[in-house]
Amino acid sequence: MSVYIMDHPLIQHKLGIMRRKTTSTKEFRDLVSEVAMLICYEATRKLPLTEIEIETPIEKTTAREIEGKKLCIVPILRAGLHMADGILNLIPNAKVGHVGLYRNEKTLEPVEYFCKLPSDASEREIFIVDPMLATGGSAVAAVNLMKKRGVRKIHFLCLIAAPEGVERLTREHPDVDIFIGNLDERLNENGYIVPGLGDAGDRIYGTK
Ligand code: PRP
Ligand code: URA
């Protein structure tokens, strides 16, 4: 297991715009997709390649393509959906599963309401995406759901994480690689990431 924290200037610049409370719903939503694409670029760096024979207009040669069964993106609803949209721009042939989870406002524990994965998910490399890793409860529950369905190669991608969430996810699922846009300071008494960006789902969909 490894934890990768992105220090790319483009990611930091875009996260800075997203954090501002004056950023509009449309701009926020577009930036979720853009930052997800940039994190995905790093998260797919180690995918195994295989050589294939091809023919260019000039001659036969070998090219490299991603080996084996392709990938599966699994957004945690709701906020992960726009991350998945961004990543599909880079990997249009990836399959998509969905996990529905929301946090109980009092206990902060995740409540599951939906899970639908491709039938061959266990043969694929899975990228769970959710903008926020706060207490880690939702991420741990999503990984539990994947593992129950036989999935073994799992990566977790988020835009912003709290140290508490990273600690919980690495403790409960040490085999999962975690890719983080920025590691923030802490959680507040309501379980929100500080300084964070507020409630990601509400900011993407203009609810609240
Ligand atoms: C947010 C976020 C994560 C979760 C993170 O979702 O998108 O799924 O909270 O918090 P945790 O690490 O403490 O579990 P939320 O529950 O607000 O649902 P929503 O996306 O439907 O708004
Ligand atoms: N979920 C969010 O959307 N934001 C936080 O800061 C914590 C959990």
The answer to whether the CB of 160 is under 6 A from ligand 1 is no
Q: Which residues 6+ apart lie within 8 Å of 67 measured at CB?
A: 47, 48, 49, 50
Q: How many residues does the chain have?
A: 208
199 CB less than 6 Å from ligand 2?
Answer: yes
Q: 35: Cβ below 6 Å to ligand 2?
A: no
Q: Which residue has the tokens 């990938």?
A: 71
Residue 7 Cα to ligand 1 midpoint, Å, equals: 24
pTM over 0.75: yes
Calculate how far, in angstroms, residue 76's C-alpha sits from the geometric centre of ligand 1.
8
CA gap 180, 183 in Å, rounded: 7
Note the pLDDT tens digit of each residue in 41-52.
999 999 999 999
For residue 150, give both structure tokens.
Answer: 């036989």
Residue 143's pLDDT band, with cuts at 50, 70 and 90, is very high
